[in-house]
């Protein structure tokens, strides 16, 4: 524990040291934008404003770092390090854009919603609100001092009051990103919030003069700033998803489309595995909903958990149409062929930059369980057989998604091979699968409760009969008529 605390302290010191030049650059280039010049002499006449603004900016960055280190409600794929690498560049970029918009357009046209949307979706809604408020304060600090000290004739209350509008926008944007919207609804929800909060900017613009021109001009500028923010969010989000490997529900829904090249290839080269994955996805999605997990993530894990089988599809029974290559192999070689698919799938998904949860599901969905068919076959051949040689060589599940895929994978295969005669028989089968995995220690490294496992069992028992329903024999019915 002491070494862990030292590591955390060292990481925070390094982060704080890196934020010092970052704060300097943000304030410097913000002032350059405000003054209309980008050279080393741009801030020489307002150094007495630059220095305190720089110190305040650095202090704001430090508070953000402290806040992130204590945040416990990150999105599934987000970590403290990823949160830092996303939050600080986004805040810095927003401050620079705000300064440019304030200098060239109006302080009411600042796209503060960009920060709230991007950090809220990728890190957490609460972090999005905090980043939005910090961006608003930092922008006000960078905008007001140079105008006040260097161009006193141009300073007005509008520069300070624009921060209030940004605060209100950030607050209402939190309600938008807290809802499970699709991409289209999220964008239009953000625009609707922009149309509403722009009224505040319109009212505050009357401080510069009680005229209809000021009112409608302030409203139009507020709408423009937020629409620009939404457009920038839509354009930049895929880039952040790719580099951070934090995938939103939008991206997860996209990769679950059956027109994806890798899924089409699976349907052609390993059709049995493809159909098995579709059935597991149906089970996994319902199980995820039953225990409060993201159904999009569960479905993605299920679609791609057996992607490693594409390297040798004929060695897996669901893809065989008669000839079984294992008939010509000794059990030890067969086991080596079978258990390779987990690591192959993991490596392939990592190269494709899939989220950690999906990669882990491919690696961990069998854990270190024994491959009983070939173990039994080896014992029948005689000699000393160690069951450890017939186990998968992968870690046991470390996420609830891996647990769901493990259980659904086995249950789908068993019920597909031998259909249960009744609901009670199905319940006993699923219950036995879960109890055997518990007894084998497969769930020792994951924070999952007995209640979660009970909900998973009940969900599978409800869903599987719909997947195995019987159809009318229309040919026989026609003959009887």
State whether 194 and 215 are in the same domain.
yes
Closest to 64 measured CA to CA, from 104, 26, 108: 26
Judge whether 481 lies within some domain. Answer: no
Q: Which residues contact 55 (CB under 8 A, 6 or more apart)?
A: none
Task: Tell me: pLDDT of 474 over 50.
Answer: no
CB count, 10 Å around CB of 373? Answer: 15
State whether 155 and 200 are in the same domain.
yes
| pTM of the full structure | 0.80
State whether 201 and 288 are in the same domain.
no
- What is the mean pLDDT of the segment spanning 263-271? 92
Q: Return the higher-pLDDT residue of 474 and 188.
A: 188
CA atoms of 413 and 411, how far apart (whole Å): 5
Judge whether 64 lies within some domain. Answer: yes
Judge whether 437 lies within some domain. Answer: yes
Which of 242, 263, 291 is where one domain is finished? 242
Per-residue model confidence (pLDDT) at position 407: 95
Task: Tell me: pLDDT of 402 over 90.
Answer: yes
Summarised one tens digit per residue, pLDDT across range 412-452 is 988 887 887 788 888 999 999 999 999 999 999 998 999 99
State whether 371 and 234 are in the same domain.
no
State whether 233 and 334 are in the same domain.
no
Which of 187, 214, 242 is where one domain is finished? 242
Task: Tell me: pLDDT of 67 over 80.
Answer: yes
State whether 281 and 325 are in the same domain.
yes
- What is the mean pLDDT of the segment spanning 303-317? 91
Summarised one tens digit per residue, pLDDT across range 179-208 is 555 666 666 777 777 777 777 666 666 666
State whether 296 and 175 are in the same domain.
no
CA atoms of 387 and 401, how far apart (whole Å): 27
Domain count for the chain, please give it: 2
Per-residue model confidence (pLDDT) at position 408: 94
State whether 290 and 417 are in the same domain.
yes
Judge whether 473 lies within some domain. Answer: no
CA 220 vs. chain centroid, Å, equals 34
Judge whether 321 lies within some domain. Answer: yes
State whether 326 and 445 are in the same domain.
yes
- What is the mean pLDDT of the segment spanning 243-256? 86
Q: Which residues contact 91 (CB under 8 A, 6 or more apart)?
A: 61, 64, 115, 131, 134, 135, 138
Per-residue model confidence (pLDDT) at position 156: 46
* Residue 154 pLDDT grade (very low, low, confident, very high; cuts 50, 70, 90): very low
Structural domain span for residue 324: 250-467
State whether 189 and 278 are in the same domain.
no
Judge whether 420 lies within some domain. Answer: yes
Summarised one tens digit per residue, pLDDT across range 343-389 is 999 999 999 999 989 999 999 999 999 998 888 888 888 778 888 88
Judge whether 63 lies within some domain. Answer: yes
Task: Tell me: pLDDT of 149 over 80.
Answer: no
Per-residue model confidence (pLDDT) at position 287: 94
For residue 258, the domain's CATH number is 1.10.3210
Judge whether 271 lies within some domain. Answer: yes
State whether 101 and 127 are in the same domain.
yes
CA atoms of 233 and 118, how far apart (whole Å): 6
Residue linked to tokens 């005689």 = 382
CA atoms of 102 and 31, how far apart (whole Å): 11
CA atoms of 421 and 426, how far apart (whole Å): 8
Which of 191, 221, 242 is where one domain is finished? 242
State whether 226 and 295 are in the same domain.
no
């Amino acid at each position: 524990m002491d070494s862990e605390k030292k590591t955390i302290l060292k990481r925070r010191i390094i982060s704080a040291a890196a934020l010092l030049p970052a704060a300097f650059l943000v304030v410097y280039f913000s002032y350059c934008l405000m003054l209309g010049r980008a050279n080393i002499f741009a801030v020489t006449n307002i150094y007495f404003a630059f220095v305190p603004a720089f110190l305040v900016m650095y202090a704001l960055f430090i508070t953000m770092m402290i806040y992130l280190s204590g945040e416990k409600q990150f999105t599934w794929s987000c970590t403290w390090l990823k949160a830092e690498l996303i939050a600080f560049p986004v805040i810095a970029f927003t401050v620079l854009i705000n300064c440019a918009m304030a200098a060239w357009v109006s302080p009411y046209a600042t796209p503060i919603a960009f920060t709230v949307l991007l950090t809220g979706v990728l890190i957490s809604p609460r972090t999005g609100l905090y980043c939005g408020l910090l961006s608003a304060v930092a922008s006000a600090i960078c905008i007001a001092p140079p105008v006040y000290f260097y161009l006193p004739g141009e300073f007005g209350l509008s520069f300070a009051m624009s921060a209030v509008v940004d605060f209100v926008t950030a607050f209402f944007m939190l309600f938008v990103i807290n809802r499970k919207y699709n991409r289209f609804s999220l964008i239009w929800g953000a625009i609707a919030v922009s149309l509403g909060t722009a009224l505040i900017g319109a009212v505050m613009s009357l401080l510069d003069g009680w005229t209809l021109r000021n009112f409608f001009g302030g409203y139009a500028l507020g709408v423009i700033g937020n629409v620009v923010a939404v457009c920038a969010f839509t354009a930049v989000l895929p880039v952040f998803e790719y580099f951070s490997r934090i995938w939103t529900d939008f991206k997860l829904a996209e990769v679950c489309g059956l027109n994806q090249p890798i899924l089409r290839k699976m349907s052609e080269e390993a059709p049995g595995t493809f159909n098995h994955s579709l059935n597991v996805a149906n089970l996994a999605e319902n199980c995820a909903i039953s225990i409060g997990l993201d159904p999009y993530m569960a479905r993605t894990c299920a679609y791609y958990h057996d992607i490693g089988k594409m390297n040798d599809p004929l060695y897996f029974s669901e893809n065989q149409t008669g000839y079984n290559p294992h008939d010509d192999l000794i059990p030890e070689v067969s086991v080596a062929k079978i258990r390779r698919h987990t690591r192959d799938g993991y490596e392939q998904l990592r190269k494709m930059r899939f989220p950690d949860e999906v990669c882990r599901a491919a690696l961990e969905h069998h854990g270190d369980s024994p491959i009983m068919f070939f173990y039994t076959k080896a014992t029948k051949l005689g000699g000393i057989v160690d069951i450890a040689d017939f186990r998968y060589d992968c870690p046991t599940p470390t996420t609830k998604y891996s647990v769901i895929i493990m259980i659904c994978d086995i249950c789908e295969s068993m019920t597909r091979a031998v259909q249960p005669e009744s609901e009670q028989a199905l319940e006993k089968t699923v219950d036995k699968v879960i109890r055997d995995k518990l007894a084998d220690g497969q769930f020792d490294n994951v924070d999952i409760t007995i209640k979660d496992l009970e909900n998973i069992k009940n969900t599978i028992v409800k869903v599987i009969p719909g997947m195995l329903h019987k159809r009318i024999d229309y040919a026989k019915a026609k003959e009887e008529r």
